[in-house]
Amino acid sequence: MRSLHHCPAPAKLNLFLHVVGRRADGYHLLQSVFQLIDRADTLHFDLREDEQIVRTTEVKGVPQEQDLIVRALRLLQAEYVRRHGRLPPGIEVAVEKILPMGGGLGGGSSDAATALMAANHLWQAGLSRQELMDLGLPLGADIPFFLFGETAFAEGVGEALQAVPGPDCWYVVIEPGVAVPTPAIFSAPDLTRNTEPVIIADFSSSYADSGSRLSFGKNDLQDVAMRLFPPVAEAVEWLSGYGDARMTGSGACVFCAFSSEAAADRVLAAMPGKWTAWKAKSLKSHPLMKSLLQNQ
């Protein structure tokens, strides 16, 4: 096989996000539930005759050398050399980008995870899913989740993952039109850093009782993001008229859960035209799980 085309890199939502402490090295200790949704970037991979890793499409604001896709593939390339004693064929990557940067949807990390899955398959590199997760972690704390590939309760800096049942629902997501830099949120002096830790059973029992409603926890980063970025506050306020609206990740995107597609459509029909907004279905597992991850 010399190519893999139309590989999805799905977005994630943080159904809640608590900051429960801080490590000695400054990294924050988190608890969250990551939910995959069916809104996705699409990547296409082709092996080359040489040994170069090349991104063939422009991604605004992201030079090739800084792209998580390219950096992840180079890490896997180096691991391949370590295991097999030779370089694998080069790869060309084309990216159809629809997920916003700085949106809290994990788009860049998801792209990198899909690239690791695809290259591991095309190169027959032989890394397990856990080995791919370990390889990707230094590049970004969200990458292991996308390789984990199913709804997960996350702890640590986001890398300690356990599968949990997630809601079967639709989401309306607003892109407020700003990119929120993660460091600006985590360095804010008024960020809550001492939320009481929870256990998986707390989350699971909450969803069993409430169906699709976001009744559990909150996003500890949201208040800071709303203060620093008024468009985020405006989107939260508007969407809160239809349910428990909250921000995902460190922002900027804001979402609300609905029990049916028709309910989501009604909210989208009322949406002010100044925002980009869309609906997405919850996913139980990564779309590439069966084809690329199941046997790893």
Catalytically active residues are 12, 142
- Whether the Cβ atoms of residue 280 and residue 171 lie closer than 8 Å to each other: yes
Beta bridge partners of 41: 9
Tokens of residue 178, six digits? 């700003």
- 260 vs 243: CA distance, rounded Å: 13
- 57 vs 238: CA distance, rounded Å: 36
- 89 vs 2: CA distance, rounded Å: 10
- Contacting residues for 237 by C-beta, under 8 A, at least 6 apart: none
Cα separations (Å) of 276 from 116, 184, 235?
30, 23, 11
Residue position matching structure tokens 């949704």: 37
| DSSP notation for 235-294 | HHHHHGGGS--EE-TTSS-EEEEESSHHHHHHHHHT--TTSEEEEEEEESB-TTIIIIIT
Beta bridge partners of 8: 42
